[in-house]
């Protein structure tokens, strides 16, 4: 049995795109065959049919109309599939035999260019990983043209990948995917040689038109990132055989510029994504995002995920915010100007690639037209010169005026979404186009005048001139007047009540009209393509301006939030001290009625590096812990902070850990994970880090938990010397500070009121004396009998009694335990006595002293 030539062609093309759903163009449809057809039927709800394959077995088939294909592509890509678009690459009318077909583009989650596949507020990074030691990362956003390279220690890989939040990751065949990837990320495997270093250098040099890579400022240390970039560019070229969108020169990022944030920290502080999906009001991003442009929204998200580590660049941003905070009118002017700027970064890229619609070009024109206002607003800012950043932007803002003028001169006022749906190019912009349009309009006018003339000539009062796509222009006569029709009219169509005719004259003008219309359309296309080229020639300038506007937008959003929420400028220093006066939680305070949030002072300095935070459940421990983390992070992003006063010694890393059972979004048996992450902190933290531990050790039994918490805190205190806040409801741990020279206790106050607990949310020195667990149980509605019984048992336990015949578990008073010291301190001291040197009298005194200590 022989296969049809068409099926053979299909199979050959499909073999080269085995991992993609192949949209195979046949006339006005894209057809999918075999497994692709079944997948499409399942994922898109299409009806599966079958095609007879030249006598061979039936081939399952599903198709979508070309006109509606965009929506189907979107749905497939959103579900993590790749879609290869295979077109007829020669005109079927002139093709001899089978029409030639070829894949012109493969659309994947990480390589999407159209608006329906992109979120305006997020970058869409495609990330390649070179999994060596250290790891290389390359990230490209095809829609904005950004390209970044970085080489990171293996321990930071997951965090670095997460910062890009990619929907697709490129890995060499056989390599393990980075740990902790969220579900739904598409893994793309490429052959190992694509990661070869020499190949990478070639690929990068070719893509960016460089002689060598020296111009990029790369060193031998960046080799892993270069290898990843080589593989990534190779892959992108394979996806876009017709030409890759223009990319900006790669920017090389160095560890040390920004603060690595691990997954747990990013998630628990709810920086950009909420812990509970959907509830975005709980994120820091939601509080700060007053940006007015998509570029600004994307940049803000990125800044939050990569706080700075050096004092100078942080102060530079803060200086900018300060200028804007101080000038309310200037703020409003700048906001108004920025608001009119749309996504010029993506529009520019699309136009340069020849993919922009006339409407896109119109939006680009309107956005560029706002730039002079932005510049004027910047120029008019009071005390602008106190911010090098704003001053620099005021001078450096490229208005791309030549392009703005060109677009304004050429484009129609409201260009249509598709060419031909209205005029894209304005009248007077191009003589040739004007001529064709005049011919077309003249022809139309003549045809319209024909109606009056022929009416008069024939005496048919109801005669009408009309047009339809099939028959072109015609003269319509109602049936009753049929007899009056002159013999030279040619009948074309008979309707129920009327007849339609054409005349030689009408046909002649019709040809002129249609010909002119076609010429006008072709000329419009040419002119639009010219505009695309004009954009391409200026793309770097457009993108630089876009990035500058994004930065202005974010600084302005910081300033607006600062004013609205009464934040202060933090004093950012190279010192150790973290001193917050009347600090608030930026998110929680907004979720409570205004003024209901209780501010607190928090001080971490050399004498109290470790703050042990105790207090009953629901007292506000976790809130304080997180607000300190968020405040430090906000300061290092260059934002004002929710406090009356803040001095912040910059931290090199910020770690947040939440005990397993407090972490709602994780499943069971996570104690192991918790310990894993805790050990990562102990290895990763330095004296300049800030470590926030919330109920660590809770995922196991009380004693285990307390023991681990104790040992971890001791290690951070003795070995690492970093700033640490440890929140725990194990009030037993407060004894720990007696042994640690640089630690202090604090507790979040609660007051008993009758049988109930009133939470004051006030931080005060000293440890909590008890847990109030039973009170909280009562508040939560435990039946009175259960509460009463719990109180009885508690009293018995505290007095060291047995409860109902069962042995009492060891008392939780840790001074009684040998858990933390392997022996009693009196024994240790006894062992330490140098008997050879003691006089008998001294020996007796020591003995008495030891005995006294035992009796205490
Ligand atoms: P804990 O960790 O001690 O169990 P949380 O920090 O989770 O307590 O706080 C419990 C709730 O108390 C929060 O959801 C918030 O509504 C409220 N709360 C916490 N801190 C404050 C505060 N400073 N002022 C007002 N309400 C607060
Ligand atoms: Mg808590």
- Residues near 259 by Cβ (< 8 Å), separated by ≥ 6? 306, 307, 308, 309, 636, 651, 652, 653, 654
Angle at 581 between CA 650 and CA 261, to 5 degrees: 35
Q: Which atom of ligand 1 is nearest to the CA of 759?
A: 12
Nearest to 624 by CA among 654, 596, 597, 594: 597
B/e letters for 557-593, b = 16+ CB within 10 Å, e = fewer, are bbbbbbeebebbbbbbeeebebbbeebbbbbbbbeee
Q: Is 642 in the pocket of ligand 1 (CB under 6 A)?
A: no
pLDDT of residue 11: 93
Q: Does domain 289-400+538-565 have CATH number 1.20.58.2030?
A: no
Residue 615 Cβ < 6 Å to ligand 1: yes
For residue 760, give the ligand nearest its CA: 1
d(Cα 22, Cα 31) in Å, to the nearest integer?
8
- In ligand 1, which atom is closest to the CA atom of 596? 25
Distance of CA 603 to the CA centre of its chain: 33
Ligand whose nearest atom lies closest to the CA of 661: 2
User: What ligand 1 atom has the least distance to the C-alpha of 694?
Assistant: 2
> Distance, CA 623 to ligand 2 centroid (Å)?
7
pLDDT of residue 53: 64
- Residue 619 banded pLDDT, cuts 50, 70, 90: confident
Tell me how far the alpha carbon of residue 493 lies from the centroid of ligand 1, in angstroms.
80
Between 223-237, 724-738, 824-838, the lowest mean confidence (pLDDT) is in 824-838
Q: In the prediction, which pLDDT does 824 show?
A: 72
Taking a C-beta distance cutoff of 8 angstroms, is the pair 1, 55 a contact?
Answer: yes
Q: How far is CA 618 from the centre of its chain?
A: 32
pLDDT band, very low/low/confident/very high, at 55 (cuts 50, 70, 90): low
pLDDT tens-digit readout, 9-36: 999 999 999 999 999 999 999 999 999 9
What would the pLDDT profile of 288-297 be if each residue is shown by its tens digit? 999 999 999 9
Out of 590, 623, 664, give the residue to mutate to test ligand 1, the one with the largest number of ligand atoms within 8 Å of its CB. Answer: 623
* 588 CB within 6 A, ligand 1: yes
Q: Which segments of the chain belong to CATH 3.40.1170.10?
A: 5-107
Task: Report the separation in Å between the CA atom of 725 and the middle of ligand 1, taken as the mean of its atom positions.
Answer: 16
Q: pLDDT tens for residues 310-326?
A: 999 999 999 999 999 99
Query: Per the CATH hierarchy, to which homologous superfamily does domain 571-777 belong?
Result: P-loop containing nucleotide triphosphate hydrolases (3.40.50.300)
Side-chain-side CA neighbours of 356 within 13 Å: the count stands at 33
CB distance 620 to ligand 1 below 6 Å = yes
Q: Which ligand is nearest to the CA of 620?
A: 1
| Least confident among 53-67, 183-197, 715-729 | 53-67
Short-list 613, 642, 625, 567, CA closest to 764: 613
- For the cut 90, the answer to whether the pLDDT of residue 461 exceeds it is no
Distance 282 CA to ligand 1 centre (A): 14
Q: Taking a C-beta distance cutoff of 8 angstroms, is the pair 204, 230 a contact? A: yes
**Range of weakest confidence among 472-486, 636-650, 689-703:** 689-703
d(CA 395, CA 407): 24
Which among 157-171, 313-327, 647-661 has the top mean pLDDT? Answer: 313-327
Give CA–CA dist 62/40, Å, rounded: 7
Class of domain 5-107: alpha beta
pLDDT for the residue numbered 295: 96
**CATH 1.10.1420.10, the chain: domain bounds:** 289-400+538-565, 431-532
Averaged pLDDT for residues 615-626: 90
Sequence-ordered strand ranges (E) for 406-497: 464-468, 472-478, 490-494
Compute the distance from residue 658 Cα to the ligand 2 centre, in Å. 9
Beta strands in 565-618 (DSSP E): 571-573, 578-583, 600-604, 610-614
Over residues 463-490, the pLDDT tens digits come to: 888 888 888 889 999 888 888 888 888 9
Write down the pLDDT at residue 811.
43
436 lines ligand 1 (CB under 6 A): no
Residue ranges of the chain that CATH labels 3.40.50.300: 571-777
Residue 212 pLDDT grade (very low, low, confident, very high; cuts 50, 70, 90): confident
Q: Flag whether the pTM goes above 0.75.
A: yes
Q: Ligand 1: does its nearest atom lie under 6 Å from the Cβ of 622?
A: yes
Question: Which of 281, 580, 588 has the most ligand 1 atoms within 8 A of CB, as the residue to mutate?
Answer: 588
pLDDT in tens, 63-117: 999 989 999 999 999 999 999 999 999 888 888 888 999 999 999 999 998 888 8
pLDDT digits (tens, 9 = 90+) for 401-433: 999 999 999 999 999 999 989 999 999 999 999
Ligand 2 center–CA 621 separation, angstroms: 6
Residue whose CA is closest, atom 10 of ligand 1? Answer: 618
Q: Is 618 in the pocket of ligand 1 (CB under 6 A)?
A: yes
Among 270, 584, 585, 618, name the best residue to mutate to test ligand 1's pocket (greatest count of ligand atoms within 8 A of Cβ): 618
In testing the pocket of ligand 1, which one of 620, 725, 760, 768 has its CB within 8 Å of the most ligand atoms?
620
CATH fold label, 431-532: MutS, DNA mismatch repair protein; Chain A, domain 3 (1.10.1420)
Question: Is the model's pLDDT at 640 over the cut of 80?
Answer: yes
Give the Cα separation of 83 and 14 in Å (integer). Answer: 11
pLDDT at position 204:
92
List pLDDT tens digits, range 362-393: 999 999 999 999 999 999 999 999 999 999 99
Greater pLDDT, 526 or 50: 526
User: pLDDT category, 301, cuts 50, 70, 90?
Assistant: very high
- Mean of the per-residue pLDDT values of the chain: 88
- Please give all residues whose CB falls under 5 A of ion ligand 2, grouped by chain where several chains appear: 622
* 358, 359, 420, 421, 531 from 528: Cα distances, Å: 7, 11, 12, 14, 5
Using 50, 70 and 90 to split pLDDT, how confident is the model at 820? very low
- Cβ–ligand 1 distance for 539 under 6 Å, the answer no
Distance (angstroms) between ligand 2 centre and the Cα of 695 equals 7
Best CA proximity match to 224, nearest among 175, 163, 182 = 175
- Quote the tokens at residue 268: 């628990």
Q: Check pLDDT > 80 for residue 127.
A: yes
Q: Assess whether pLDDT exceeds 90 at residue 705.
A: no
pLDDT at 812: 44
| Minimum-distance ligand 1 atom for the alpha carbon of 617 | 4
For residue 49, what pLDDT is reported?
A: 86
Give 764-804 pLDDT, tens digit per residue. Answer: 888 776 666 777 777 777 888 888 888 887 777 666 655 54
Class of domain 115-255: alpha beta
């Amino acid at each position: 049995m022989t296969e049809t030539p068409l099926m053979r062609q299909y199979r050959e093309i499909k073999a080269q795109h085995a991992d993609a759903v192949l949209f195979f163009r046949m006339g006005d449809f894209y057809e999918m065959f075999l497994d692709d057809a079944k997948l499409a039927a399942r994922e898109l709800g299409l009806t599966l049919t079958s095609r007879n394959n030249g006598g061979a077995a039936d081939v399952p088939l599903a198709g979508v109309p070309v006109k509606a294909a965009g929506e189907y592509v979107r749905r497939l890509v959103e579900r993590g599939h790749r879609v290869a678009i295979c077109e007829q690459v020669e005109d079927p009318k002139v093709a001899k035999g089978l029409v030639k077909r070829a894949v012109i583009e493969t659309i994947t989650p990480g390589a999407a260019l159209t608006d329906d596949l992109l979120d305006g507020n997020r970058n869409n990074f495609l990330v390649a990983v070179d999994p060596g030691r250290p790891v290389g990362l390359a990230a490209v956003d095809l829609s904005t043209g950004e390209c970044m390279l970085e080489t990171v220690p293996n321990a930071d890989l997951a965090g670095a990948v997460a910062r890009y939040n990619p929907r697709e990751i490129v890995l060499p065949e056989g390599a393990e995917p980075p740990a902790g990837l969220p579900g739904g990320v598409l893994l793309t495997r490429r052959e190992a040689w694509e990661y070869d270093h020499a190949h990478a250098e070639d690929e990068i040099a070719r893509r960016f038109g460089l002689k060598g890579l020296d111009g990029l400022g790369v060193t031998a240390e960046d080799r892993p990132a270069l290898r990843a970039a080589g593989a990534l560019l190779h892959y992108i070229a394979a996806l876009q055989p017709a030409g890759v969108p223009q990319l900006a020169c790669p920017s090389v990022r160095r560890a040390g510029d920004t603060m690595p944030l691990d997954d747990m920290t990013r998630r628990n502080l709810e920086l950009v994504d909420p812990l509970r999906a959907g509830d975005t009001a709980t994120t820091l991003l939601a509080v700060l995002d007053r940006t007015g442009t998509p570029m600004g929204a994307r940049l803000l998200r990125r800044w939050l995920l990569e706080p700075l580590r050096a004092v100078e660049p942080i102060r530079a941003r803060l200086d900018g915010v300060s200028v804007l905070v101080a000038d309310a009118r200037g703020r409003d002017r700048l906001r108004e100007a920025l608001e009119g700027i749309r996504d010029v970064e993506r529009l520019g890229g699309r136009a340069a690639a020849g993919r922009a619609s006339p409407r896109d070009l119109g939006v680009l024109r309107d956005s560029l037209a706002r730039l002079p206002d932005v510049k004027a607003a910047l120029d008019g800012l009071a005390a602008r010169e106190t911010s090098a950043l704003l001053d620099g932007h005021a001078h450096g803002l490229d208005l791309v005026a030549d392009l703005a003028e060109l677009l304004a001169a050429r484009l129609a006022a409201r260009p249509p979404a598709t060419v031909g749906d209205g005029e894209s190019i304005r009248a007077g912009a191009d003589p040739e186009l004007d001529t064709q349009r005049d011919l077309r309009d003249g022809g139309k006018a003549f045809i319209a005048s024909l109606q009056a003339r022929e009416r008069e000539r024939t005496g048919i009062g109801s005669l009408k001139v009309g047009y339809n796509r099939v028959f072109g222009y015609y003269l319509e006569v109602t049936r009753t007047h049929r007899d009056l029709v002159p013999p030279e009219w040619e009948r074309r169509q008979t309707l129920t009540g009327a007849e339609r005719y054409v005349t030689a004259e009408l046909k002649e003008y019709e040809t002129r009209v249609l010909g002119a219309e076609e010429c006008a359309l072709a000329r419009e296309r040419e002119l639009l393509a010219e505009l695309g080229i004009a954009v391409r020639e200026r793309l770097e300038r457009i993108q630089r301006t876009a990035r500058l506007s994004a930065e202005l937008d974010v600084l302005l959003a910081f300033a607006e939030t600062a004013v609205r929420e009464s934040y202060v400028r933090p004093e950012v220093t190279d010192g150790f001290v973290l001193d917050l006066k009347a600090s608030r939680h930026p998110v929680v305070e907004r979720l409570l009625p205004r003024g209901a949030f209780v501010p607190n002072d928090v001080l971490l300095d050399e004498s109290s590096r470790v703050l042990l935070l105790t207090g009953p459940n629901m007292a506000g421990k976790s809130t304080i812990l997180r607000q300190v983390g968020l405040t430090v992070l906000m300061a290092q992003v260059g934002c004002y902070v929710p406090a009356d006063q803040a001095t912040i010694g910059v931290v090199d890393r910020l770690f947040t850990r939440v005990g397993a059972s407090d972490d709602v979004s994780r499943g069971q048996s996570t104690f192991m994970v918790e310990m894993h992450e805790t050990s990562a902190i102990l290895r990763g933290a330095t004296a300049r880090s800030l470590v926030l531990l919330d109920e660590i050790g809770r995922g196991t039994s009380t004693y285990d938990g307390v023991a681990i918490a104790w040992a971890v805190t001791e290690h951070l205190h003795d070995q690492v010397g970093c700033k640490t806040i440890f929140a725990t409801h194990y009030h037993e741990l407060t004894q720990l500070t007696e042994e640690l020279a640089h630690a202090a206790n604090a507790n979040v106050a609660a007051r008993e009121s009758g049988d109930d607990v009133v939470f004051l949310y006030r931080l005060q020195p000293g440890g909590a004396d008890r847990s109030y667990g039973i009170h909280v149980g009562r508040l939560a509605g435990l039946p009175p009998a259960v509460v009463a019984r719990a109180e009885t048992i508690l009293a018995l336990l505290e007095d060291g009694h047995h409860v109902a015949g069962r042995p009492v578990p060891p008392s939780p008073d840790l001074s009684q335990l040998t858990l933390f010291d392997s022996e009693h301190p009196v024994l240790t001291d006894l062992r330490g006595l140098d008997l050879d040197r003691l006089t008998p009298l001294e020996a007796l005194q020591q003995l008495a002293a030891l005995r006294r200590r035992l009796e205490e």
